[in-house]
C-alpha cells in the first residue's frame, strides 16, 4: 500500500497518527509477539556456527520456523530452493491466493543470512540477519493482515541465502533466477551504528603467481631465484602502501603458498592473493592498478 493511501487499519483509532504510523505500530506489535520464537531462532544459529554452503543446522532451524509459524501452513516453504542450504518462504493474504483478475502483487523480499567464519563463529552476526529478516517478514505480514478486506496485492517472500562469508551464495541464487520478479528486497546487517543505508563494498580479487628457480639452498643458493622472497616483498610493499590509501579502500593480502616440500630446496613457486574492496566499482579499478604497481613492481 502506498503511504498516504485511503485504507484504514482495522481497529485503529483515529488519534492523529498517520495510517503509515499505525501500520508500523502493528508490524512492531507482531514482532514483539513473536520475540521469544525469534530470539530462540537466533540463539540456535549462533550457538552452532557453520561455514558457507554447510549451514544445514541453521537451514533446518529457519525452515522449521516458517513451517511452524501459526496458523499452520500459512507460509509456503521450499526448503532446498536452488541450493541445498537455501530456502524460500512465501506468504500472501489467503484471499489473494485464488486465481483472479487482480493485478500482479508487489513481490516484497527479505533476506536471511546464516553462515559463519572458521574459528570465530558468527563474528559479524549473521544469526541476527536471519532473525531480523524473519522478524521483518512477520511484521509486514501482521500489518497487512490488519488491513480491511480485500487485502492489498502484496506477496511477502523470505529468501534464505547461504554462503555470504565465502563463495557468494547470492550470486548462485541470482544466476538461478531466485531474485527474478522480486520488486524490492531488504536485508539488515548488525553494526555499531543505526543506519537505514549501509554502504556496501565492491570487491575485486587478484591472484599473483611468481615462478623462480629451484636450487640447493645449502650447497648452491646463488644458483636459485627465490619465489617466496618475491611474494614477501610484494606483501611488505602493499602493507607500506596502505598508509596512502583512502579511508574507503580495503586491501587484504594473503601469501597462499611459497614453501617447497623439501627444506633444502629454494622455493621456485609462490602465490599471493589480494582482496580489494571499495564503496564504488570505479575505485576498485583504481585500487587494482595502484596495488599492482606497488606490489609486484617492488621485487
Which residues sit at the interface with Zn ion, rule CB under 5 A? 124
Q: Kindly state the smallest distance separating residue 219's Cβ from Zn ion, in Å.
A: 51
Q: Kindly state the smallest distance separating residue 173's Cβ from Zn ion, in Å.
A: 17
51 vs 124, which CB is nearer to Zn ion?
124
Helices 281-294/227-241 angle, 10° precision? 130
Residue 126 contacts residue 113 (beta carbons within 8 Å) = yes
N residues, the chain = 299
Residue 296 contacts residue 208 (beta carbons within 8 Å) = yes
Calculated CA dihedral for residues 125, 90, 73, 71, nearest 10 degrees: 70
Q: Kindly state the smallest distance separating residue 162's Cβ from Zn ion, in Å.
A: 13
Q: Kindly state the smallest distance separating residue 299's Cβ from Zn ion, in Å.
A: 34
Residue 23 contacts residue 146 (beta carbons within 8 Å) = yes
Q: Kindly state the smallest distance separating residue 25's Cβ from Zn ion, in Å.
A: 30
163 vs 253, which CB is nearer to Zn ion?
163
Cβ-based neighbours of 203, under 8 Å, separated by 6 or more: 275, 276, 277, 284
Output the residue with the shortest Cβ distance to Zn ion.
124
124 vs 265, which CB is nearer to Zn ion?
124
Three-state secondary-structure class, residue 130: helix
52 vs 276, which CB is nearer to Zn ion?
52
Beta bridge partners of 203: 277
Task: Calculate ∠ Cα 227-230-235, nearest 5°.
Answer: 130
163 vs 228, which CB is nearer to Zn ion?
163
Q: Kindly state the smallest distance separating residue 251's Cβ from Zn ion, in Å.
A: 19
Q: Kindly state the smallest distance separating residue 14's Cβ from Zn ion, in Å.
A: 43
92 vs 164, which CB is nearer to Zn ion?
164
94, 67, 93: which is closest to 78 by C-alpha? Answer: 67
127 vs 237, which CB is nearer to Zn ion?
127
73, 80, 141: which is closest to 108 by C-alpha? Answer: 141
208, 215, 209, 207: which is closest to 267 by C-alpha? Answer: 215
Q: For residue 259, give the C-alpha cell.
A: 614453501
Amino acid at each position: 500500500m502506498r503511504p498516504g493511501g485511503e485504507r484504514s487499519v482495522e481497529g485503529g483509532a483515529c488519534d492523529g497518527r498517520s495510517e503509515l504510523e499505525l501500520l508500523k505500530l502493528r508490524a512492531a506489535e507482531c514482532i514483539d509477539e513473536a520475540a521469544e520464537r525469534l530470539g530462540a531462532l537466533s540463539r540456535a544459529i549462533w550457538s552452532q556456527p557453520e561455514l558457507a554452503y554447510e549451514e544445514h543446522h541453521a537451514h533446518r532451524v529457519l525452515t522449521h520456523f516458517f513451517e511452524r509459524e501459526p496458523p499452520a501452513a500459512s507460509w509456503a516453504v521450499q526448503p532446498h530452493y536452488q541450493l541445498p542450504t537455501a530456502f524460500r518462504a512465501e506468504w500472501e493474504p489467503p484471499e489473494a491466493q485464488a486465481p483472479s483478475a487482480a493485478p500482479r502483487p508487489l513481490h516484497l523480499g527479505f533476506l536471511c543470512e546464516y553462515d559463519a567464519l572458521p574459528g570465530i563463529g558468527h563474528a559479524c552476526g549473521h544469526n541476527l540477519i536471519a532473525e531480523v529478516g524473519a522478524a521483518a517478514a512477520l511484521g509486514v505480514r501482521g500489518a497487512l493482515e490488519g488491513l480491511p478486506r480485500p487485502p492489498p496485492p502484496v506477496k511477502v517472500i523470505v529468501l534464505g541465502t547461504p554462503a555470504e562469508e565465502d563463495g557468494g551464495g547470492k550470486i548462485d541464487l541470482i544466476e538461478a533466477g531466485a531474485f527474478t520478479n522480486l520488486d524490492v528486497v531488504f536485508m539488515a546487517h548488525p553494526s555499531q551504528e543505526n543506519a537505514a543505508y549501509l554502504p556496501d563494498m565492491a570487491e575485486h580479487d587478484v591472484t599473483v603467481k611468481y615462478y623462480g628457480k629451484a636450487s640447493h639452498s645449502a650447497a648452491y643458493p646463488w644458483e636459485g631465484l627465490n619465489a617466496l622472497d618475491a611474494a614477501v616483498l610484494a606483501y611488505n610493499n602493499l602493507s607500506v602502501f596502505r598508509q596512502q590509501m583512502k579511508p574507503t579502500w580495503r586491501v587484504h593480502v594473503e601469501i597462499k603458498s611459497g614453501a617447497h616440500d623439501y627444506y633444502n630446496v629454494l622455493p621456485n613457486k609462490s602465490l599471493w592473493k589480494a582482496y580489494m574492496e571499495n564503496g564504488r566499482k570505479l575505485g576498485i579499478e583504481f585500487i587494482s592498478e595502484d596495488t599492482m604497481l606497488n606490489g609486484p613492481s617492488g621485487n
